[in-house]
Amino acid sequence: MYLPGRALKTLASNSGLTSIVHFQYVLFFLISILVVACQPTNPESISVEDIDFGTTDDSELFFKNVRQSYYDKEEIEAAGMDVFRMSDRNLTASYPLIHLAIAYNWRNDQAFLMVEPNEYITDPQEFKLLSIDPTGNDTTAIDYAMGNMKDQVAFAHQLFLAVTGDAQLYFDVNDEAISVFDKFEDREVIRKTVLDYYKLIGLIR
């Protein structure tokens, strides 16, 4: 079929325009996927059941280079483990307080979150916190019983949600409620430790 010169130019022009449009659509699609993939996971949506405790070279490197300086490090060579505790944690024993520690098993590339009540709490293996939401209308019991590693993370996650949700927390002992985590600094230690842990095991970026 014969096409005059002007028609050929028009066809070539339209073909080029179509290619550009297609390229733009593909580029937009790829960028959309990349943006979604890079969005950080909302810590509130994390399911403890999905945690496998595994770390990666990238997450370990990030923790070592960026976050480790904020922690005291305890080396347990025999167990192949390093334990990290926030350096600015409150070491008081005059009232109940709960600490969290990140335990990194460098032999197996795994990390765990450990619950460490302070010395005020006479039974560190079993206790209860009461969480009252900011409206004062909802009270939730956060029970702790020393169990496996997922039990430790489950408690820490509930505590994290309470302190970041501005809930009022009470330590329940002998039917007496003692207010805890009244200080912003104590809440921040919990928040930062949990976020650092979730980054170390790849749950958030």
Q: Read off the pLDDT of residues 41-57 as tens digits, 9 standing for 90 and up.
A: 566 667 777 789 999 99
Question: Which residues fall within 8 angstroms of residue 90, CB to CB, at 6 or more apart?
Answer: 97, 183, 185, 186, 189
Q: Which residues pair with 75 in a beta bridge?
A: 82
Side by side, which strands form the sheet with 176-180? Answer: 139-145, 126-132, 168-173, 176-180
Measured distance CA(11)–CA(121) in Å, rounded: 81
CB 189 within 8 A of CB 160: no
Angle at 184 between CA 181 and CA 188, to 5 degrees: 90
* % of the chain with per-residue pLDDT over 70: 78
Q: Per-residue confidence at 36, pLDDT binned at 50, 70, 90?
A: very low
Write down the pTM of the prediction.
0.78
Average pLDDT of the residues in 190-201: 96
